[in-house]
Structure 1
Amino acid sequence: MTLRHALLATTRALTLAISLSVSVHAQAQAVSVTDDRGHTVSLPRPAQRVISLAPHATELIFAAGGGERLVGVVEYSDYPEAAKTIRRVGDNKAVDLEAIAALKPELIVVWRHGNARRQLEKLGALGIPMYESDPRRLDDLPEALMRLGRLLGTEPAAQRAAADYRRTLQTLRERYAGRPPVTTFYQVWRQPLKTLNNDHMVSDVIRLCGGVNVFGTLEPLVPTLSDEAVLQANPEFIFTASMGATHSNRPVDSLDGWKRFPRLTAVQRGNLFYVNGDLINRPTPRVLEGAALICEAMEGVRGRR
């Protein structure tokens, strides 16, 4: 082989190697996950510009290491502190479609229960990839963090957050495993009287602490009740959400109405409890902070028997 042929062969080999390397790199940049509705979300590369249309989704994105990617959020996206400085594009009832389009997002994270279906359909017509976030179980949250980490290209941070969450959850499970059961009623709202069934994460928290949701088997996800139904169930422990950004308008005495029924076990023993709504109703890692408070409260319930 002549020197010229050898050089040509070497050049072709280098060209092929570079082409293969570029191809592999390009494929590695493409990301695809399945969201909480079972839809496949595919991006040509991790998203650099993201809009969150739910406060819990904003928290999850920050926890997964993608806070710097957020260019728009909805009202009540108040955690962590940095979330308060991000441009608002609406609230859980209505969003500004023109503002969203102008921000040129590469990914929109939505919550079907909070964002109106008609608006989601209009968003879909913009051709912007949408990821639906709706974790229902405590065990769903690590995977929720990991999927967002993949979409945002922040997997190492998401892995760390998921691992920290799993450790804290396991610690709580071990601490309260086998504790005597506590019949529990979670009051979502007083007028009309509403609760949550076993398909909601709040019931997962109740179970974690050794409680039993007395209305867990009802349908739908948020059943409407009568006072008589609560009196008949006679729960030992009643709690509700108060304070918090998303519950700032809730009256702080929203459980006082039950004091009209002194024979109700929860009233008789002083087992009416409030927990920050943002620590119990948002499916984010902070739910374990709320869970720890509820578990401690249930220990108090057991101690007053």
Structure 2
Amino acid sequence: MNRYPWAGLLLGLCMMAPVHAKPTCVLDDTQAPVCVAQAAHRVLSLSPHLTESVAFVHGLNAVVAVDSSSDYPSDVNRLPKLGAPWLLGSETVLAQKPDLVLVWNSGINPAVVERLRALKVPVYVSEPKTLGEVASTLRRLSSLLGTERQSEGAIHAWESGIQQQRTQHQGLAVVPVFYQVWPKPLMTLGGSHVVSEILSLCGGRNVFEDQPGLAFQVSAEAVLARKPGLVLASGDDTRERALIHQWSMWSTLPAVRNGWVQSFPKDILVRNGPRLLEATQRMCALLNRVRQGPAPGRPAP
């Protein structure tokens, strides 16, 4: 005879009770731990590259608001936009009751991050500087969002796409490239920027890759001395026309002489997120055309 008739019932209730899983923790790009007790479901994404990354790992349904510049994919435009992240105060962020806040290290007031963390709000600070770090970002975000299973195949395909471009363009003739960030003052990117990595992967070379730092000012004379075969800037057709006009006076420059002064599709090269694969594919295709000689419609020099 069972001396404790209630024991079976109690055991059944215990088995039905929720089991508290261990929190999910990752290190962000400042090496600070970021932990969520369960998959985040009220997320603020305060940088375009992070918003695109969250969408890539199937986490967009957890996002409740974004910054004013986040506009891709198109579904993002249905979300509330909080404004420029560097102008946001902690009160604005807290009003959204987030269980995870994603920020760009170079685009947020550090005091806001400190305040949120003091109030035990998980904050992931992002600053991916290489293609490998972009892939790592995707995996860490998928962990925090609980979407690892749905997204791992896509992340692996992304990495394979990058490797495929690297393999296909090894050993090709090197194309020297000047990437223009801004015309006045004239600014470009250094060797530590991901654009330099993409150029190198495609068989190109940033003519200022020997310079430290991400972005800095240069003179037109310094550009001329390095003889780029391609002058490039991100932007639309209007930006391209301005770029061509700007450099047209320097007819001895190989890029000008051969008609290789042009713009590159806006955003995909300057947001360090998943669309860098598309940027890499486009860049490699462009450098292949430059290797073939003058741009269509241009006579051989």
- Residue 154 (structure 2) pairs with residue 161 (structure 1): yes
What are the superposed Cα offsets for residues 14-47 of structure 1, whole Å, 9 maximum, x if unpaired? 379739x85xx4224x100011111111111121
Do the aligned residues in 2 keep the contact of 1:186 with 1:240 (CA within 8 Å)? yes
Where has structure 1 moved over 6 Å in runs of 4 or more? none
CA distance in 2, matches of 1:178, 1:220: 27
* Percent identity over paired residues: 32
- Residue 75 (structure 2) pairs with residue 82 (structure 1): yes
TM-score w.r.t. length of structure 1: 0.88
What are the superposed Cα offsets for residues 152-211 of structure 1, whole Å, 9 maximum, x if unpaired? 111112212202212221221222122111111111111111111121111111011101
- Residue 134 (structure 2) pairs with residue 136 (structure 1): no
- Residue 215 (structure 2) pairs with residue 222 (structure 1): yes
Do the aligned residues in 1 keep the contact of 2:182 with 2:188 (CA within 8 Å)? yes
CA distance in 1, matches of 2:289, 2:57: 35
Q: Which residue type is aligned with residue 31 of structure 2?
A: G
CA distance in 2, matches of 1:37, 1:192: 31
Do the aligned residues in 2 keep the contact of 1:193 with 1:224 (CA within 8 Å)? yes
1:91 corresponding residue in structure 2: 84
* Aligned partner of residue 240 in structure 1, secondary structure: strand
Do the aligned residues in 1 keep the contact of 2:240 with 2:263 (CA within 8 Å)? no
In 2 relative to 1, CA 255–115 (structure 1 residues): closer, same or farther, beyond 3 Å?
farther
- Residue 21 (structure 2) pairs with residue 27 (structure 1): yes
CA distance in 1, matches of 2:8, 2:37: 32
Q: Which residue type is aligned with residue 294 of structure 1?
A: M
- Residue 261 (structure 2) pairs with residue 267 (structure 1): no
In 2 relative to 1, CA 127–11 (structure 1 residues): closer, same or farther, beyond 3 Å?
closer
1:289 corresponding residue in structure 2: 278
Do the aligned residues in 2 keep the contact of 1:273 with 1:297 (CA within 8 Å)? no
What is the alpha-carbon root mean square deviation over aligned residues?
Answer: 2.4
- Residue 290 (structure 2) pairs with residue 301 (structure 1): yes
Greater helix content: 1
TM-score w.r.t. length of structure 2: 0.89
Q: Which residue type is aligned with residue 96 of structure 2?
A: L
CA distance in 2, matches of 1:36, 1:113: 11
CA distance in 2, matches of 1:234, 1:119: 45
Structure 2: unaligned runs, 5 residues or longer: 295-301
* Aligned partner of residue 166 in structure 2, secondary structure: helix
* Aligned partner of residue 290 in structure 1, secondary structure: helix
Count of residues paired in the alignment = 294
* Aligned partner of residue 263 in structure 2, secondary structure: strand
Q: Which residue type is aligned with residue 268 of structure 1?
A: R
In 2 relative to 1, CA 102–148 (structure 1 residues): closer, same or farther, beyond 3 Å?
same
Structure 1: unaligned runs, 5 residues or longer: none
Do the aligned residues in 2 keep the contact of 1:240 with 1:273 (CA within 8 Å)? yes
